[in-house]
Structure 1
Amino acid sequence: MNSSSKIALVTGATRGIGRETVRQLAEAGVHTLLAGRNREKAVQAALDLQAQGLPVEAITLDVTDPASIAAAASEVEQRHGRLDILVNNAGILVDDPSRQVSEQSLQAWRTTFDTNVFGLIAVTQAFLPLLRKSAAGRIVNVSSALGSVALHSDPSSFIYDFKLPAYNVSKSAVNAWTVQLAYELKDSGIKVNTIHPGYVKTDMNHVEGEQRGELDVPDGARTSVRLALIDNDGPTGGFFYLDQVLPW
């Protein structure tokens, strides 16, 4: 299936890495659904990309709202009849960096997991029937190197001192879910991978007025796009940053 005949959906796509992922997929010829929980923002972002001649359309999708997820899946089925690429990009970070690991509030844990884990799983479950109708379905789960238990256990690793427990553990759960789902789908033709976008200059990494990211947003979207467009010989059940395989 060539890129020009593919249908993709990217969650959390009104800004940052999500929006850039939409742009890069659309530039590759993929008809891309820009999903956001705020319809006005999603429509405006889609219109901006359409003005550049890109095949983008807006769709409302709040990953924490079961009714919104169901409505979005129904809308995609009615418009397109299938889905070829799902990029689970939506995510939040609400840990208080001034608190110790054991001091993070239980509410922060619940809020984080509702979006980063349960929302991701719910969206995947809702769109999986449409992905099964694709000749080459692809699921990309946006995780983080901060979800790597191996790297967090290694005092020499670059993330060793980045202990944001609710966020980090939620991404560890995303990684584990990816492995489980890839196993289920291993004979289906649907490939499931998880990615680390890099330490990107986004709002999530803008702390106390300081921009702490290292990569520009276009570079942060590259790994998601690469895994979304892999051919039938590409990997499944892996954890990647660009061409690197990361440790779980």
Structure 2
Amino acid sequence: MTTTLITGATRGLGLETARQLAGAGHTVYLGARDLKQGQEAAKPIGAHAIQLDVTDEESVQAAAKHVRAEAGTLDVLINNAGISGAWKLAGEYTAADMETVYATNVFGIVRVTHAFLPLLDTSSNPVIVNVSSTGGSLARNTDPTSMESKVPMLTYASSKSAVNMVTVQYAVAYPNMRINAVNPGLTATDFTKITSPGATPIDFNEYGIQSAEDAAKIIVRLATTGPDGPTAGFFEAAGPAPW
């Protein structure tokens, strides 16, 4: 039995990933800031809710202690929790804006990974999947034909660039683990309702919005990779994503 923890899993992509992995036979711990909300989300899909706020050290340590006591190990960690932050022109962002987004998107991944590495180390096939975005791709952001280059998202985009580097650093440090970043792609959530400040509203449909069910497939694919699978990579549905 594969034991999996997913952060930020009470709705959207996280919940759909939990549903698919639970359906595939994983014992899924569904991380939720609000435990009651987590329990309501977990019950219909056969997952286990666990209180986990990635910005709170005490919460993360308690979650790690809970999983250790109940499951004894962790095979798969999916760092899914993330926020977009405010959407402004680059010159309007403040350091406080950056700190808010990085607290969840970057420091949250490091906090959770640090707490669960000892448990992952007990697995025969430890896997970490960090949910990233090509919003953080330097190649896409400098390509004037890409969607990423048309959306001003200094805090979010740079946080995902940081997630990619964090992923590579962990992968190099832990060659016995399969550690990758994934770009699920544009998904039918509130994210696609934003408009570009000071510019014409962006029609994300032009770039192909997909369902959460389809978007979760790349996360599930990397979460179920074997010991001979890729590591230190950045992937999307079509294959490797550009850094």
Q: TM-score range by the shorter chain?
A: over 0.9
Q: In the TM superposition, what whole-angstrom CA distance separates every residue of 1:32-51 from its partner, at most 9, and x where no partner exists? A: 1111101110011011223x
Query: In the alignment, which residue of structure 1 is the partner of 2:178?
Result: 191
Distance 1:156 1:207, change over 3 A: closer
TM-score by length of 2: 0.92
The question of whether the paired residues in 2 share the 8 Å contact of 1:83 and 1:134 is answered with: yes
Confirm or deny: 8 A CA contact 1:64 1:119 kept in the other structure. yes
1:180 counterpart = 2:169: yes
Aligned-CA RMSD value: 1.5
Amino acid at match of 1:37: R
Task: Give distance in 1, aligned partners of 2:152 and 2:51.
Answer: 33
Matched, 1:218 2:213: yes
- Tell me what 2:83 maps to: 92
| Counterpart residue number, 1:32 | 28
Post-superposition offset of 1:73: 0.2
Other-structure match for 2:199 = none
Change (3 A) 1:211 1:90: farther
1:236 to 221, 231, 236: 231
> Once structures 1 and 2 are overlaid, which stretch shifts more, 99-108 or 231-240?
99-108
- CA contact 1:145–1:196 (8 Å) conserved in 2: yes
| Equivalent residues of 1:17, 1:220 under 8 A apart | yes
Q: Which amino acid aligns with 1:236?
A: T
1:81 corresponds to which of 72, 79, 91: 72
Are 2:106 and 1:117 aligned?
Answer: yes
Structure 2 CA distance for aligned equivalents of residues 153 and 207 of structure 1: 21
- Residue 10 of structure 1 pairs with residue 6 of structure 2: yes
1:103 equivalent among 92, 112, 116: 92
Q: 4+ residue runs of structure 1 moved beyond 6 angstroms?
A: none
Give the whole-Å Cα distance in 1 for the aligned partners of 2:143 and 2:168. 22
Identity %: 43
In structure 2, relative to structure 1, the CA distance for the partners of 1:40 and 1:212 (3 Å cut) is farther
Paired residues, what number? 234
Which structure 2 residue ranges, 5 or more long, are not aligned? 196-201
Partner of 1:48: 44
Q: Which string of whole-angstrom CA distances, capped at 9 and with x for unpartnered residues, describes residues 105-152 of structure 1?
A: 322211000000001110000000000000000000000010101111
- 2:138 corresponds to 1:153: no
Could you tell me whether the CA contact under 8 Å between 1:46 and 1:58 is conserved in 2? Answer: yes
Among 119, 126, 129, which residue is 1:130 paired with?
119
